[in-house]
Structure 1
C-alpha cells in the first residue's frame, strides 16, 4: 500500500508537510483550476509534483457531470470531457480516477462542523432531519430508475475508454449513504449497490474507492466488505464514523467503532497495493485562522492519521499469514 495525501495542484505548506512525512505519492484535487482536464494543465501538474519528489497517482476531482447524472441534453458533451480526461491521464501515466455518481449541488452534505471530540478538537457530522429542512432540491423529480439508466449509459461510454487508456475508475460511495437527499435519489449507498454497479459493465478497470467511513455508516462489517470487494478496490479513504446513515459523527481514526487494524489486515490479505489516504480529520487547536483549515481537511489531524496508518500497516505486514500460523 502507498500512503498518500490529497494535495492542491501547486506547492504550498501541505506539500512540505507531506515530504516531511516521507510521502512520495500524491492525490490531486484541482481547487480553483479552470478546465484542469486539458492535457496542458495535467502535464504541468504531473511534472510539478515530479519536480518536488512526488508521483501523481490519483486524480480525485470531477469535470462537470450534472447533465450526465440527470440524463439531460448536453450529457454527451460532458462525457466527451471525461473521456478526454481519461485519455490524458493514460498518456501521462496517472493511474487512478476517483469519481462520484451524485448530482453535485447536493454533493457531500454535512450539517455541523463544530462537534467537540477529545481535547476540544472539532469534527463534522450529519443529521438527515436538518438536511431535509432545506426543502426539496430543484432536481427532486428524477426517479431512481432514471438514475440507473443514466449510469448504465455513462459506464458503457466510459469504461472502454478507461480500458484503452489504462486508467482505473474508482467509484466513491454516496456520502452520506442514504437515499433520497432533499428528494434526489442516490444509488451508491450499500455494498449490494456497489456489486450491482460493478456488474453493469464488468472490467478490471471499473472498480471502487473504498471509503471506510461510508461503509461503516452503511452498517457493514468493514473488513468483511473489503474482502467482498477485494479484487475491485483501486483506492482507499481511511476514516471512520459513529452512527447511522441518517445521523453520524466523523471520528478520530483511532477512536471510532471500526477495528482499523483489522481493515489493514484485510487489505494485506486481499493483496491491495494501491494508494490509501486519510480522509476527514478533526480540526485541532490553532487551526482556525488558516485559509486551508476548512472542515475535514486540516493539517494536524492528517499528520496524526498518517502516522497511525503507517503503524497499522507495518503491524499488518509483519504478521504471519493465516497459512503460516497454521503450519
Structure 2
C-alpha cells in the first residue's frame, strides 16, 4: 500500500481478507475493519471484489437463500461505509482458470497462460440452461436490494470465455451473452466489470465494445492477452493484441469516471511468483502505464 501511495494511487479495490480455510468474512465488523485499515493507509475504498463465495447460488443448491441473505447483509454494510461498487462473477465451482502459471514472457518475466488441450475431458456437471436459471434467480433476489441501498453490482465476464470449464458451463463468454445478462434488469444497480483481458480473449474490438456497454460499465480491469479463448497468454499491458491507447480514449469518450485497476500483471525478476498475476513490480509498472495513457486521453479530449 505504501508503494502504491508513492506512485500516486489514492483509490483502492478491496479484497476481503481470507481465513485459513479460504473463506472470506462478510460480517459487518470484519468488513468495517478491513475498510478502515485501507482508509487509514490513505485510500478511498471504491470497490469490494469479489463477493465472498456463494456457490449454492451459482449451482442452484439448497441453502442458496441463506447465501443471498448474507449478500444482502454485505450490501447494507457497504452502504453504511460508503463503498459504492460490489464486483462479482458467476463462474460456478471454479474461478478464473489457467493451465500454465509460469510461461516466459518479455525479458524472461513470468506470465500466465491457458491451453484447453491441457484440460482433461469431464462429463457435464452443470448445463448452460441451469447456469442461466441460477443467474436470473440471483439477479431477481439481489439487484433490487442493491438498488435500494445505492450499491452498484459489477458482473465480471467468465475467464477463460469458453463454453465449458472442467464440466461446468460458462455463460458470460461473449458480448451478446453479457448484453443478455444486463438486460435481465434495467436497474442502475445491474452493471458490468469490464475486464479488458477477457473481452480481448473473446476476439472482439475492445474500444468499440467499451462504447457498446457505455451505460453499464461500473468498474474496469485493465489488462491484455495474446490469443483466443482456447489458447492465450497474458502479457505486459503494452504488448498485447489490444490498442490500449484507443481503449483508454474510449473510456474518456463515454465519460467513465469509475474505478479502474491493473489486473494479472507479469512477475518480474526478484519476485518468487507465489501469487501469479498479482506480484508487486508488474503492478507498479502497470499503474504508471495506465496513468500516462489516461492523462494523454484526457488531454486529447480537452
Structural mapping, 1:216-295, within 5 Å: 216-288=200-272, 293-295=274-276
Figure out how many residues of one structure are paired with residues of the other and give that number.
299
Corresponding residue number in structure 2 for 1:304: 285
In the alignment, structure 1 residue 69 sits paired with structure 2 residue 58 = yes
After superposing on structure 2, the runs of 4+ consecutive aligned residues of structure 1 that deviate more than 6 Å are none
Aligned match of 1:187: 171
Residue by residue over 1:205-228, the C-alpha shift from the partner in whole angstroms, topping out at 9 and shown as x without a partner, is: 111000000000001100000000
Alpha-carbon contact 2:17-2:24 (below 8 Å) kept = no
**Aligned residue for 2:118?**
130
Query: SS at 2:261's partner residue?
Result: strand
Q: In the alignment, does 2:125 pair up with 1:110?
A: no
SS of residue in 1 equivalent to 2:291: helix
The runs of 5 or more residues in structure 1 that have no matched partner are 1-14, 322-327
| TM-score (structure 1 length as normaliser) | 0.89
Cα distance between partner residues in 1 of 2:80 and 2:140: 21
CA offset digits 1:122-148 (Å, max 9, x no partner): 1000001102x2x427xx332211111
The separation in 1 between residues aligned to 2:27 and 2:125, in whole angstroms, is 34
**Alpha-carbon distance in 2 for matches of 1:40, 1:67:** 24
| RMSD (Å), alpha carbons | 1.3
2:40 aligned with 1:51: yes
Contact residue 24 and residue 53 of structure 2 kept, 8 A: no
**Which among 134, 140, 153 is matched to residue 150 of structure 1?**
134
How far residue 49 of structure 1 moved from its aligned partner, in angstroms, is 1.7
- Tell me the distance in 1 between the aligned counterparts of 2:194 and 2:276: 21
5+ long unaligned stretches in structure 2: none
Instruction: Map Cα deviations across residues 129-178 of structure 1 (whole Å, 9 max, x no partner).
Output: 102x2x427xx332211111111111001001100111110000100011
Q: Could you tell me how far apart the structure 1 residues matched to 2:86 and 2:18 are?
A: 19
Counterparts of 1:276 and 1:80, CA distance in 2: 29
How far off its partner does 1:35 sit? 4.9
Answer yes or no: is the 8 Å Cα contact 1:110–1:125 preserved in 2: yes
**Corresponding residue for residue 69 of structure 2:** 80
Q: Which moved more, 1:213-222 or 1:21-30?
A: 21-30
Q: Counterparts of 1:50 and 1:320 in 2: how far apart (Å)?
A: 32
Task: Identify the range of structure 1 (219-228 vs 82-91) with the bigger mean alpha-carbon deviation.
Answer: 82-91
Change (3 A) 1:294 1:35: closer
Distance 2:174 2:188 in 1: 21
- Tell me the CA shift for residue 36 of structure 1: 2.1
Answer yes or no: is the 8 Å Cα contact 1:115–1:124 preserved in 2. Answer: yes
Cα distance change of structure 1 residues 130 and 53 upon mapping to structure 2, 3 Å threshold: same
Match of 1:16 in 2: 2
What does residue 12 of structure 2 align with? 26
SS in 1 for 2:183: helix
